[in-house]
Amino acid sequence: MRRRKSGSIWMILPLYFFTLVFVAGPLLYMVALSFAEPGAGYGVNWSFSLDNYKRILEPVYLSTFVQSFKLAVTSTLAICLIGYPFGYFMAKMPPSRKKKAMLLLMLPFWVNSLIRLYGWIIILQNKGMLNFILQKLGLINEPLKILYSYPAIVVGMVYVLLPFMILSVYSSAEKLDWSLVEAARDLGATKLQAFVTVSLKLTLPGLLSGIILTFIPSMGLFFIADILGGNKIVLVGSLIQEQMTRGNNWPFAAALAVVLMILTTAMIFFYRKLTNAKELEGLG
């Protein structure tokens, strides 16, 4: 091992350099910034104050956090309900069909998410496909105003983030030894009992990591709320963006980001405690 060291240092240096300067550096800068005060223009007055954090507690901003949180919980719940069975069924398919399903799953995942959201706009708009079909079927008289509403945002969130849940459930269900399920059946479990006592328990890490992978981004995907929600609902992400661009209050934006970051880290920490896993399932 020692012999190999000398030759390997140069390989790791670019990563070290890049990671420290452009990942760790900015994040630390963000923390520092969150304690500063806004100056003129994009300027910053360096000082140590907790004002930014106190400001988050003001009802206007706190409600933004609560709203984001609610939306994230709703979206994540919907994603779990749709994505878990999907990933699980997919893992149970014969290998040849599994490969095809994987390809089908990855394809829209790679298509620009904005494009896909635009497709939903076309479908959901007042004179769109959905209303057209519903009216033709006689289920409604007036077109439903789905677009630019809360449900539309949830649809968008679910749509963009679902693949992450599916992949992480799939990768954990893939590893599930099916003979364990057979063993449970052999020992007297019905299909449902075998699922609850064995399959669900053993794929729980995948489900949990899927929850993290969808919950965390859903707090920050401001453009979905923007496009499908029509600016009616302000999320933490939108707030940060606004403070960075129009609001010109970077320290406050930094404080918002720090809080979001703490929430994120806490979730990952609990995930690790809960599952003893080092990495999130289904990443990469």
Q: How far is CA 106 from CA 99, 103, 166, 193, 268, in A?
A: 11, 5, 11, 32, 25
Tell whether residue 266 is a contact of another protein (CB under 8 A): no
Strand (E) or helix (H) holding 259: helix 250-275
Contact set for another protein, span 176-195 (CB under 8 A): 177, 179-180, 182-191, 193
The one among 146, 220, 234, 252 contacting another protein by CB under 8 A: 220
Beta-ladder partners of 38: 44
Q: Which stretch binds another protein (CB under 8 A): 5-13, 55-63, 73-81, 145-153?
A: 5-13
The one among 79, 167, 169, 198 contacting another protein by CB under 8 A: 198
Least Å from the CB of residue 139 to another protein:
19
The one among 40, 57, 115, 192 contacting another protein by CB under 8 A: 115
Helix segments in 93-196, DSSP class H: 95-110, 113-124, 129-136, 150-175, 178-186, 191-194
Read off φ and ψ for residue 45, nearest 5 degrees.
-95, 115
Nearer to another protein, 29 or 270 (CB): 29
Contact set for another protein, span 143-172 (CB under 8 A): 159, 162
Least Å from the CB of residue 270 to another protein:
14
Nearer to another protein, 206 or 217 (CB): 217
Q: How many residues does the chain have?
A: 284
Q: How far apart (Å, rounded) are the C-alpha atoms in residues 129 and 85?
A: 28
Strand (E) or helix (H) holding 247: none
Q: Which stretch binds another protein (CB under 8 A): 53-61, 73-81, 139-147, 221-229?
A: 221-229
Report which residue type is found at 49: S
Nearer to another protein, 53 or 223 (CB): 223
The one among 110, 139, 142, 192 contacting another protein by CB under 8 A: 110
What's the sign of the alpha-carbon dihedral 252, 258, 260, 263?
A: negative
Pair 43, 248: CB distance under 8 Å: no
Nearer to another protein, 80 or 105 (CB): 105
Q: How far apart (Å, rounded) are the C-alpha atoms in residues 218 and 250?
A: 22
Contact set for another protein, span 12-41 (CB under 8 A): 12-16, 18-20, 22-27, 29-30, 33
Contact set for another protein, span 119-138 (CB under 8 A): 119-123, 125, 127-129
Least Å from the CB of residue 138 to another protein:
19
